[in-house]
Amino acid sequence: MTQDELKERVAREALKYVQDPVIGVGSGSTVFKFIEALASIKHQIDGAVAASETSAERLRKIGVRVLDLNSVNELPVYIDGADEVTEHLHMIKGGGGALTREKLTAAVARRFVCICDGSKLVPVLGKFPVPIEVIPMARSYVAREVVKMGGHPRLREGFTTDNGNVVLDCHGMTLLDPPKVEGELNQIAGVVTNGIFARRPADVLLLAEASGVLTKKRLPS
């Protein structure tokens, strides 16, 4: 089974979590498969909050109304992918650069359902570089601070986020305590968001393997 087929499989499985009139939708190739699958049940929802302009465009294309997060009092469920995920349902996200809107939508959501193919499950986060969205004028300062923390930041060339900022991809970060590092990165002036999603982890992980889709629930800590 190809990775694309695994993404389709997990995207279809995620439809079971669409049980309310309003849903949150993340970004990335797995989520785009989910949006394709959502077309078959779009009459069941009133609208969706999108975590990227690209997702918003794709949702509109299938006939789903896109809602402003500010107009939504509560979001029962948020469905999104990840670049890496652990058994604790901590994640690295932002490979597509949508990390800020993703973190915001996840923060509002009651339930975060992460959809991935099996290759994303790792024992420890950090092989995938941690993306950090940074205000453009803070780029060099933030990079120097990340170096002090042991990381190797690289500017994502030719890329601007939906919020008009730049992204530093930080290699070699040791993420034995993801919530701690997430908090430390947040403290650097000029950082908008970092791609460690551990303080608000996923609640459910749907993991597509050739044998089927595994469901893992976050254990209470």
Query: Which span sits near ligand 5RP by CB under 6 A: 54-62, 91-99, 135-143, 178-186?
Result: 91-99
Nearest approach, Cβ of residue 96 and ligand 5RP (Å): 3
Question: Contact with ligand 5RP (CB under 6 A): which of 95, 126, 151, 201?
Answer: 95
Which residue sits closest to ligand 5RP, CB atoms considered? 28
Q: Distance (Å, rounded) from C-alpha 7 to C-alpha 13?
A: 10
- Applying CB under 6 A, the site for ligand 5RP has a residue count of 17
How many other CB atoms are there within 10 angstroms of residue 20's CB atom? 15
- DSSP E strands in the chain: the ranges are 22-25, 47-50, 66-67, 75-80, 84-85, 91-92, 109-117, 130-134, 152-155, 166-171, 191-194, 196-197, 204-209, 212-217
CB of 113 to ligand 5RP, least distance (A): 12
Candidate residues 99, 196, 207, 213; the one interacting with ligand 5RP per rule CB under 6 A: 99
Active site residue 102: yes
Q: Is 80:31 a contact under the CB 8 Å cutoff?
A: yes
Instruction: Compute the C-alpha angle 17/5/67, nearest 5°.
Output: 40
State the Cα–Cα distance between residues 180 and 203, nearest whole angstrom. 19
Contact 62, 38 (CB under 8 A): yes
- The least CB distance from residue 148 to ligand 5RP, in Å, is 26
Residues 8, 13, 84, 102: which is the catalytic one? 102
Q: For ligand 5RP, what does the binding mask look like between residues 9 and 48, x meaning CB under 6 A?
A: -----------------xxxxx------------------
Amino acid at 131: P
Q: Residues interacting with ligand 5RP, by CB under 6 A?
A: 26-30, 80-83, 93-99, 102
Give catalytic residues, as residue numbers. Answer: 102
